[in-house]
Amino acid sequence: MALVIFLALVAVVAVYLISLYNNLVSLKHGVARAWSNIDVLMKQRHDELPKLIEACKQYMRFESDTLERVMQARSQVASARESRNIPALGTAETALRAGLGQLFATVEAYPELSTNEHFQHLISRITELEDSIADRRETYNDTVNLNNVRIEQFPDVVVARAFGFGAARPLHFKEAEKSDVDVKQLFS
């Protein structure tokens, strides 16, 4: 009888530990999925920015340093994104948003450009991507927070340490990065 109780207790503990492990695996993959969602949107934005720059170049011959800053920031974002360097990504995103804000403000001096249908489409597409990235960043940070809390809670911490589950890094951006560029106001 004691052996049956002992085996039942061992089975319950084993099932519980397996459940904890599976939940931690699910959280780890949730963080990876949330990152992938951001990555896809950043890649799409990365692909759209050269089109925007080309449209601007046709009109803005004397604003090459503004265009160059946007392209350099675009390159830094791509590099940080590909290497999954979260702190560098935050810095690069801030530079990119600042460059885009400056570009959008500079466009006011070029009425032909601001009324160009192709340019308007590109601005709309990039703004849509920016909004989606902001939404996905929130989801990513929520998922990271949930993962990080779970791997620190008892008894999850025991399983997490035993199987090498680690904390994920949230995406942090400077205050300037958190505010949206109001594209419509720039073209009013």
The per-residue pLDDT for range 11-30, each reduced to its tens digit, is: 999 999 999 999 999 999 99
Task: Give the pLDDT band (50/70/90) at residue 61.
Answer: low
What value does the mean pLDDT of the chain take? 84
What is the rounded distance in angstroms from the CA atom of residue 59 to the CA atom of residue 173? 32
Phi/psi of residue 119, each to 5°? -65, -45
Q: What is the pLDDT of residues 125-160, one digit of tens each?
A: 888 888 898 889 999 999 999 999 999 999 999 999
**Interatomic CA distance for residues 99 and 78, integer angstroms:** 15
Q: Give pLDDT, residue 115.
A: 76
> What span, in angstroms and rounded, lies between the C-alpha atoms of 71 and 80?
14
Categorize the per-residue pLDDT at 112 as very low, low, confident or very high, splitting at 50, 70 and 90.
Answer: confident
User: What's the pLDDT band for 70 if we cut at 50, 70, 90?
Assistant: confident
State phi, psi for 61 to the nearest 5 degrees: -65, -25
- The kind and range of the H/E element at 188 are none
What pLDDT sits at residue 62? 55
Residue 54 pLDDT > 90, yes or no? no
71 confidence band (pLDDT: 50, 70, 90): confident
Six-digit token string for 54: 């080309």
**Amino acid identity for residue 119 in this structure:** F
State residue 141's pLDDT score.
93
From 43, 162, 57, select the one nearest 113 (Cα to Cα): 57
When computed from its CA atoms, the radius of gyration of the chain, rounded to whole angstroms, is 23
Integer Cα distance of 143 and 26 in angstroms: 11
User: Residue 30 and residue 19: Cα distance in Å, rounded?
Assistant: 16
- Domains of the chain (ranges; CATH) run 2-186 (1.20.1440.20)
